[in-house]
Amino acid sequence: MLNILVLHGPNLNLLGRREPGVYGLATLDDITALLEREAQTLEAKIETLQSNHEGVLIDAIHDALGKHDGILINPGAYTHTSVAIRDAIAGVNLPTVEVHLSNIHRREPFRHHSYIAPVAVGQISGFGPDSYRLGLYALVNYLKQKS
């Protein structure tokens, strides 16, 4: 059974209340439930963590080495600012899929650049909570093909 680490970055704890016109009404608990159901159908196991602190996310990425087969991450605003998270993902060299609820390329210009994308297997954005579901499916499929 594949073991996937799901990381949620800053402000995602406010989902369902924060800018619903951009991020929708689904809460982080709703997304976790969706991922848990999807993981069962894919014969995978997920572990989730949300943090507003960059160092906590970096530590979780480091700790994933030898424990998880891949990482599904919504880095939130750290997508556009964190070389440190990018370097952590590159350092552990675990297959990673980047996801976003909104289409970052249809938003403000500063959101168009991702430091994470160059070290990720792929990026899925713009499909609301389905971005996570699609990202999990893509990551598990990638890992199964790789092994």
Out of 78, 100, 132, 137, pick the active-site residue: 100
From CA 19, how far away is CA 98, in angstroms rounded?
Answer: 21
CB atoms within 10 A of CB 88: 23
Mark whether 23 is an active-site residue.
yes
Length of the chain counted residue by residue: 147
**What residues form DSSP beta bridges with 96?**
71
Residues at the binding site for substrate are 74, 80, 87, 101-102, 111
Residues at the binding site are 74, 80, 87, 101-102, 111
Mark whether 78 is an active-site residue.
no
- Burial of residue 3 (CB within 10 Å: 0-12, 13-18, 19+) is middle
CB atoms within 10 A of CB 25: 12
CB atoms within 10 A of CB 128: 16
**Active-site residue set:** 23, 100
